Amino acid sequence: MPTAREIMTPGAVCVSERETLADAARKMADLDVGSLPICGDDNRLKGVVTDRDIVVKAIAKGRNPADIPAGELAEGKPVTIGADDDAAEILRTMGQHQVRRLPVIDGHDLVGMVALADVARALPDRPVGDLMDAISKS
């Protein structure tokens, strides 16, 4: 079974915890992605910000994304996957936490991102269908 390192998108670009949500949105648009890891001044992963987070947690509440640091949305310990964890562990982690994207960590270093689409390309249909059912439950 393939590992996270084998199916991830390498070279994840971070948004600094001090950069604004507007900065994060611009980076997402430039990179054509829907989420970015939030990294601290210590280069450690602080969380993940999604395009949906920006809309729901800022714009929909009448807040200006240019005034909100990305770090404000870094809540709790980020859900990650180890670079050498296999696809079954990726599926378990995504399903358990109901997420579609995971930062891939090697030691303490962020080495990439693995998305549901990456898993779908690497695995047969059945496990991916089961994951979609788990993620879609509310």
pLDDT in tens, 99-116: 889 999 998 889 999 988
Cα(89)–Cα(5) distance, integer angstroms: 13
Cα(38)–Cα(68) distance, integer angstroms: 13
Cα(54)–Cα(129) distance, integer angstroms: 28
**Domains along the chain with CATH numbers:** 4-136 (3.10.580.10)
80 pLDDT band, cuts 50/70/90, is: very high
Cα(113)–Cα(37) distance, integer angstroms: 9
User: Which is nearest to 109 in space by CA: 9, 23, 42, 19?
Assistant: 42
Q: What is the pTM of this model?
A: 0.82
* Mean pLDDT computed over 12-31: 95
88 pLDDT band, cuts 50/70/90, is: confident
Q: For residues 79 and 54, is the Cβ–Cβ distance under 8 A? A: no
